Chains A and B, each alone.
Chain A
Amino acid sequence: MRQLQVDVAVIGGGPAGLAAALAARSAGAEKVLILERNTELGGILQQCIHHGFGLHRFKEELTGPEYAQRFMDQVKATDIEVLLETMVLEVTADRKIYAVNTKMGMVEIQAKSIVLAMGCRERTRGALRIPGRRPAGVYSAGTAQRYVNIDGYVPGKRAVILGSGDIGLIMARRFTLEGAKVEAVVEVMPYAAGLTRNVVQCLEDFDIPLHLESTVIAIHGDKRIEAVTIAKVDSSWNPIAGTEQKIACDTLLLSVGLVPENELSSQAGVAIDPVTNGPIVNHWMMTNIPGIFACGNVLHVHDLVDNVSREAEHAGMYAGRFALGTMEEAPRRIKVQAGENIRYVVPHEVSTTEPVEFFLRVQRPEDNVALDVGGLRKIRKQSVRPSEMLDVKLTPEQLQSLEGDTLVMQIVSQKEA
């Protein structure tokens, strides 16, 4: 079995992995290795051929492949090593990685530090337990996106989309542009799950009806899906009798949420936050296993790739420092707690010596409120939405002024602010 030794091993060559590898190299780590299972770098961005990426980072509207290419070009200009079509099978707590590819066979990699950047997967019909038969023609939205944008095939010509996540909204437009008819987008919540700009640009501009507080209660068809029954739901998501409506279709796309892929992490003993489904990390983006870091959608599901890149740069920088042995133990640690109308905050713990950027989501939409950052900062928000991630930065000076060892993030009314 081939054996390799590296300073920093990055698992996953999507936007998080690319940014983390670059940052680790910039921090001084000499041997940085990216392990990518696909035939090329870039991750899921390669199938996101629509524009809208990079507004924050590059002040430009790029397509997914263009955004990825900027980082890929930077990686290419360095001596960062890349192993493509290489699947990581196991990560151990003492930072050994077992990976396999067709050329090298099994490879055992001993890393001084590891960055987990494996991304996420889509929730499935099975996880939702949508009743009915199991015909062909039911896809997660991202699988359909791959078929259309990478492989060059359109699954069907009459689609219903369950869930209004961003990929579903993007695919509603993509199907329409391909000459297919999107009959309906069906969302169980009283508001869309995706970004407002996607609702406008992908549904409203194409007159695609959005059914809120509704769900698919049955799938019909034997070999191929022939129709779905949708119904209105009550506040506990139970279908309301009498509101059923059968819609003929040959395709059902599911855009019902993303789940960070932490099977490798769990195997290594990384502790997982049941709310984010991602690792619990400190201000270094380090997990409970020393030397194992996490960033991007494997840590928590983002809606903007710009944020992924920034978060990954933090993780990569600290992973580089850890490998070099130049990381300093924090003199004081502060627990971060999700308070009123906050679903989660990442990172979960911070120090008082490093600047930190928090990413957080609210539980429910509210207007004219303020985000109270542990009493250290209060930021007015015209509106907060679960679909739109918030981010807030604190300086070491601000953190040092905190009393106690817990920082509570909460949404307060503007009067209190």
Chain B
Amino acid sequence: MGRRYKETIPVQVAIVGGGIVGTAVVRELSRYKLDLLLIEAEPEVGWGSTKANSGIVHGGFHEEPGTLKAKYCLPGNQMYPELCRDLDVCFEQNGILMVARTAEEMDTVRTYFRRGTERGVNLRLLSRDEVLAQEPNLDPGIAGALFAPEGGSVMPFELAAALMENAVQNGARYLVNAKVQNAWSEAGKKFLETEEHRIQADYVINAAGLFADDLARMFGDDYFTIHPRKGEEYIFDLSVKDVVKSTIFPVPGPISKGILVIPTAAGNLMMGPTGDNILEKEDLATSQYGFERVFAGAKSLVPSLDPRKIIAQFAGVRAASNRGDFIVELSPNVPGLLHLAGIESPGLTAAPAIAADVPRLLGEAGLELDLKEDFDPRRRPVIRFNLLSREEQDALVKEDPSYGRIICRCETITEGEIVDAVQRGARTLDGIKFRTRAGAGRCQGGFCQPLITEIISRELNIPVTKVTKRGPGSEQVRYKVKELYESEVQA
């Protein structure tokens, strides 16, 4: 088989991986006069570990002193309110409550309190009665809690998509369905090869998440490894509301922060995650055993949770490194290669702060940085029909009637919002779901999926049989009627 000719794309900085880290970095670098290209293996950005985690903006008190996790978590937390305002992303600063169930656990909570306050985190210790006054649905047997009012909740895939979109507004480019198959360094340049393209970059940022060690090895850096750790999460119906105000944490165990009860930024209550070391990086299966542990953990904090109100579940895989900490460093072997690896929890919180540190690191590697005068930090606002008043909705429909056609009845998502999501880069049913929430509700797309399939087909001008759930191979409907029957008769 002959080697296929690939067009070479020369760029200054290539970012491999469109997760929360890669998109935060490309957006940060788009402040500068740089030629930027982000390369994502999946059909849309934010689809790896980013889409399948708890969506917590952590308080910055969990992390061991002296770690990179501690270095980037609190500054990241403090960047969130402005970042989400600029990008028009849903962010709920609803606070984090770490609940002690026994007197011994309360001692541990006090340790976290001291650690956090020394670091400058705004924290309060609450007695049992104070906790129950704030969160009346917690188990009355608790001993007390630590409250971090500046913790919050965000929709990570929405944030990643918004970061990418804003970077593009500021001149960056990106490729999707572009898994790096080969990479090497040659005469000061770094090369990345995908199925379709060859990219020649002066600087490469490895933000490849679960596959960061694989990419590093392609460049000859064989000094760290990524160990996948799976987390299962279970989502409740929107009608399960006002159960808890803040995200409820237990006192952490040795390897994870434990099972949480999370009022998500989307409005649904969620519980999870498990934390199981697994062998396969793409093992996204949920399990009965996972459910049992999540439910037992969540119920020990909030006894009234009813599993019959669960509408969906998913599993995500954390990209934990063999160091047990983030890896944020220039390659010791390849000049101009920057590794941002092992960004497990609190990676979502830390990502903006890590990104803010990238110009310094690239500067150390010799990149000249020159700020643009016309950088625009704001994303074009997103219309969310169901958050408008009746009068605003009325005015909107009169201006653009496509907002008067409700496609997703469970979440009240209109045709206008779906078309807008396609225009902003959604290409698949999952992409539409993550961006707009159409299909994320209690019927799980049962009613709206055929309608959304039709809209995607129309907007992208592709046949319905080419519309996918999440990329090639996941086509939603495979045949036209009579097609199978006729092929059978002919055979």
Contacts and interface: CB of A to CB of B under 8 A. Distances in A.
Interface string B405-446: 110011010000000000000000000000000000011111
Contact of A1 (B239, B390, B464): B390
B285 A131 contact: yes
A178 B481 contact: yes
Nearest to B486: A179
A148 B286 CA distance: 30
Interface stretch (B75-83, B209-217, B467-475): B467-475
A129 B282 contact: no
Interface stretch (B65-73, B97-105, B306-314, B346-354): B306-314
Contacts of A102: 397, 401-402, 404-405
B233 to A, nearest CB: 12
Contacts of A124: 311-312, 442-444, 446
Contacts of A377: none
B313 to A, nearest CB: 6
A136 B465 CA distance: 13
A155 interface: yes
Contacts of B287: 131
Nearest to A135: B474
Interface string B136-162: 000000000000000000000000000
A132 B474 CA distance: 16
Contact of B286 (A131, A152, A178): A131
Interface string A110-132: 00000000000110111101011
Interface in B349-404: 390-391, 393-395, 397-398, 401-402, 404
B446 A106 contact: no
A153 B444 contact: no
A146 B290 CA distance: 34
A155 B483 CA distance: 12
Contacts of A133: 284-285
Contacts of B464: 151, 153
B406 A155 contact: no
B188 interface: no
B311 A127 contact: yes
Interface in B285-310: 285-288, 290-291, 307-308, 310
A224 interface: yes
A224 B481 CA distance: 20
Contact of A131 (B288, B450, B484, B486): B288
A209 interface: no
B313 A129 contact: yes
A101 to B, nearest CB: 5
A98 interface: yes
Interface string B269-295: 000000000000010111110110000
A150 B312 CA distance: 27
Contact of B412 (A89, A105, A108, A179): A89
Given A89-B412, A151-B454, A223-B470, A100 B404 contact: yes
Contacts of B311: 124, 126-127
A148 B287 CA distance: 32
Contacts of A157: 478-479, 484
A267 to B, nearest CB: 10
A1 B390 CA distance: 8
A179 B311 CA distance: 33
A110 to B, nearest CB: 14
A153 B395 CA distance: 37
B310 A126 contact: yes
Nearest to A143: B446
A153 B477 contact: yes
Nearest to A259: B442
B406 A100 contact: yes
A136 to B, nearest CB: 4
A223 B476 CA distance: 10
B398 A105 contact: yes
Interface in A19-75: 37
A142 interface: yes
A101 B484 contact: no
A224 B474 contact: yes
B405 A178 contact: no
Contact of B406 (A87, A156, A263): A87
Contacts of A140: 443-444, 446
B323 to A, nearest CB: 30
B446 A122 contact: yes
A143 B449 contact: yes
Given A100-B397, A127-B310, A133-B285, A153 B469 contact: no
Contacts of B465: 153
A266 B239 contact: yes
A131 B234 CA distance: 12
B211 to A, nearest CB: 16
Interface string A331-348: 000000000000000000
Nearest to B312: A126
Contacts of A135: 469, 474
B488 interface: yes
B47 to A, nearest CB: 13
B461 interface: no
Indicate the member of A105, A178, A266 with the most B CB atoms within 10 Å.
Answer: A105
A154 B479 contact: yes
B446 A224 contact: no
A220 to B, nearest CB: 9
A121 B446 contact: yes
A213 interface: no
A85 interface: yes
Contact of A152 (B288, B444, B478, B481): B481
Contact of B397 (A106, A127, A134, A250): A106
A103 interface: yes
A77 B188 CA distance: 81
Contact of A223 (B290, B402, B405, B473): B473
Interface in B158-212: none
Nearest to B388: A106
Contact of B409 (A87, A105, A129): A87
A136 B444 contact: no
B333 interface: no
Contacts of A156: 478-479
Contacts of B473: 222-224
A302 B477 CA distance: 29
A206 interface: no
Interface of B: 234-235, 239, 282, 284-288, 290-291, 307-308, 310-314, 390-391, 393-395, 397-398, 401-402, 404-406, 409-410, 412, 442-447, 449-450, 454, 464-465, 468-488
Q: 9 tightest CB-CB pairs across the interface, nearest first? A: A223-B473, A179-B484, A179-B485, A106-B394, A126-B312, A136-B469, A153-B477, A102-B401, A136-B474
18 contacts: A1-B390, A1-B391, A87-B406, A103-B401, A105-B393, A105-B404, A127-B311, A129-B288, A133-B284, A140-B446, A143-B445, A152-B481, A155-B476, A155-B478, A178-B485, A179-B485, A179-B486, A224-B474
Given A177-B485, A179-B484, A263-B410, 15 more contacts: A101-B405, A102-B401, A102-B402, A106-B394, A121-B446, A126-B310, A129-B286, A134-B284, A135-B469, A150-B450, A154-B477, A154-B479, A154-B480, A155-B476, A224-B475
